Structure 1
Amino acid sequence: MSSTANPPTFPKTLPDHTQLPESDGTFGNNFQEHPQSILLTDSITSILQQYHPDGQYCIGQDCGIYWRLTDPPEKGAEAPDWFYVPNVPPTLNGQIRRSYVLWQELIPPLIVLEFVSGDGSQERDNTPLSRTQEPGAEKPGKFWIYERIIRPAYYGIYEVNRASVEVYCLVAGQYQLVTANEQGHYPILPLGVELGIWQGRYQNTELPWLRWWDSEGNLLLTGHEQAQQVQSQLDQERQRAERLAAQLRAAGIEPDL
């Protein structure tokens, strides 16, 4: 007597960002990751505003990118430390994004960045998706998911302990290492910017930070750094005016205040 297996059942509608978990409940890996994400976002905002005068883009910081429906849902998501998606609204139906759902929006990120806390093996794991799809089957590797499923045009692996960043570009469906230029930076051509390591002090911590430069090699500044630069220029102008006034007085000429 033969029997026929019951066919699989699927939901009539796929869940959106409001119906999927916004966190897997794990801790951040270290205290440096949050300021690193802020530094990247703050310094590139002016560039993104030039490319998107309509404001149609979003940046995710340790937010889930859902790429398949699983049980529990978190197993079907990756949460890059930083990513940028062009030509999508920053909010959905007036609501703050809880996650980014590929089957809902279909537009992949332009760039995804992972900050390494361990030895980097997770970020470089190329284990493919199991064909069996059985419960408990090994989860595919992060590198494989980005290259084959989420498919950001650029994938960067930043290792603060080694003061290095490794950048891949998607070419014909496969990631190829990007070669650094003479300045040791990695061009992100669609944005006209470069990614590299900057040794300096940010938020009271001296570290080799991951930062942006423009195509001419100028460091993209945060809002605070821009304000400091303006203040420094004003101080220099004031000091120059004071020196000139002193020279005029020494010559018997009262400066015209």
Structure 2
Amino acid sequence: MYQTFPPRSPRESLPTMYDLPSEDPEELGLPDEFHLLQPELLRQTFRPPTYAADNIFTASDLNLYYDLRHPQWYKRPDWFAVLGVSRLYDERDLRLSYVVWQEGVCPFVAIELLSPGTEKEDLGQTLREISQPPNKWAVYEQILRIPYYFVFNRYTDELQAFGLVRESYQPLSAIKMGFWLEKAQLGLGLWQGSYQGINRQWLRWYDHDGQWILTPTEQETQVATQERQRAEQERQRAEQETQRAEQERQRANQEAQRADQAIAEVQKLKEKMRSLGLSVE
């Protein structure tokens, strides 16, 4: 029989999965909603112009196996991308994991979203025994040698960027909108806007012209807006043509009236001349 609880005050602070223990002590719990939405926005806007869509693989919260000597060791990046590898495993199946020694291509960029339970691991501040797996920082930097590593703290909206320089990660400085990744011909920056009905700062990719890459939904909205604008322009042009035609008709009527008046004046003049006994041709 399930235990029921009295309703809580809406002002009461509710515990998170980081405050309450899991049934599995090794597992903090499934990703929270931000960890679902942010990677999806990254996936939808990661479109390197020099790579075909089916030659790019992106994933979030997917097991990344990195050491053939320890085949059960893995990391689970919040988001990562690989360039120059088929989107599908063996070009036909969705992947259940990413195994580096099978794929032959390491990730190009990895992104971690800081949370209370993973901050030290993500920033390489945890220590380990010799027999234990290395932390994420060590794996990304020393084993996989991922060229770019980003760490985003959604609580402070702080984005830390690191680039692989020789043997170690070095902090990168933001330029204008964010950080430019030359090989991908894309930049990563903080965008203030509404995604899935949530207005906040989001990680988002931008192009060489400094334009934020649109999601499929935004593209559809943009196309629909452009179609409406074109239809409105066509309507306005049709109205202008109608107005011009009406103006031409009115001018033609006025010319016809003036011609009729001129003819009538001539006729009057001729009649007067006849009444005076003058010859009229």
TM over 0.5: yes
Q: Tell me, yes or no, if the aligned pair for 2:64 and 2:98 is still in contact at 8 Å.
A: yes
- For the 8 Å contact 1:111–1:153, the answer to whether it is kept is yes
Residue ranges of structure 2 left out of the alignment (5+ in a row): 1-25, 248-281
Within 1, Cα distance between the matches of 2:27 and 2:113? Answer: 18
Higher mean Cα deviation, 29-38 or 108-117? Answer: 29-38
Aligned residues of 2:121 and 2:136 also touching (Cα < 8 A): yes
From the superposition, tell whether residues 208 and 80 of structure 1 become closer, same or farther in structure 2 (CA, over 3 Å): same
User: Is it true that 1:85 corresponds to 2:82 in the alignment?
Assistant: yes
Q: C-alpha deviations, 1:188-245, integer Å up to 9, x for none? A: 1111110001111111111211100012211111111111111111212222333343
Contact 1:29 1:117 in 2 (8 A): no
Counterpart position of 1:52: 52
Please say which of residues 163-172 and 62-71 is displaced more in the overlay: 62-71
Q: TM (normalized to structure 1)?
A: 0.75
SS at match of 1:98: coil
| Residue 99 of structure 2: aligned partner | 101
SS in 2 for 1:186: strand
Partner of 2:40: 38
Tell me how far apart the structure 2 counterparts of residues 155 and 28 of structure 1 sit (CA, whole Å): 23
Q: Which residue of 2 aligns with 1:18?
A: none
Equivalent in the alignment of 2:258: none
Kept in 2, the 8 Å contact 1:30–1:117? The answer is no
Hey, what does 2:151 align to over in structure 1?
157
State the Cα RMSD in Å: 2.7
**What amino acid maps onto 1:30 in structure 2?**
D
Counterparts of 2:125 and 2:28, CA distance in 1: 23
1:65–1:77 contact (8 Å) kept in structure 2: yes
> What is the match of residue 231 of structure 2?
238
Q: Secondary structure at the match of 1:51?
A: coil
Q: Aligned partners of 2:245, 2:208: CA distance in 1, in Å?
A: 51
Secondary structure in 1 matching 2:121: coil
Gaps (5+ residues) in structure 1? 1-23
In 1, the alpha carbon distance for the partners of 2:180 and 2:204 equals 12
Length-normalised TM-score, structure 2: 0.69
Give 1:214's match in structure 2, choosing from 204, 207, 220.
Answer: 207
> 2:97 & 2:201 partners in 1: Cα distance?
29
Aligned counterpart, 2:64: 65
Amino acid at match of 1:175: Y
| Correspondences of 1:1-257 after superposition (within 5 Å) | 27-45=29-47, 47=48, 50-52=50-52, 55-68=54-67, 73=72, 76-93=73-90, 94-118=92-116, 120-127=119-126, 130-131=129-130, 133=131, 137=132, 139-183=133-177, 185-250=178-243, 253=246
Task: Give the SS at the match of 2:46.
Answer: helix
Residue 70 of structure 1 deviates from its aligned partner by 8.6
CA distance in structure 2 between the aligned counterparts of 1:56 and 1:234, rounded to whole angstroms:
32
Is contact 2:120-2:126 (8 Å) kept? no
Larger Rg, first or second structure (1 or 2): 2
Deviation, structure 1 residue 246 = 3.6
Counterparts of 1:71 and 1:251, CA distance in 2: 80
**Match of 1:39, SS?**
helix
**Percentage of matched positions with identical amino acids:** 28
Q: In the aligned structure 2, how far is the partner of 1:164 from the partner of 1:239?
A: 43
Aligned mates of 2:189, 2:224 — CA distance in 1 = 27
Structure 2 distance, partners of 1:95, 1:252, is: 63
Letter paired with 1:153 = P
Deviation at 1:248, TM superposition (A): 4.4
Shift of 1:163: 2.0
Mapped partners of 2:226, 2:93: distance in 1: 42
Distance 1:146 1:241 in 2: 55
The one-letter code of the counterpart of 2:106 is P
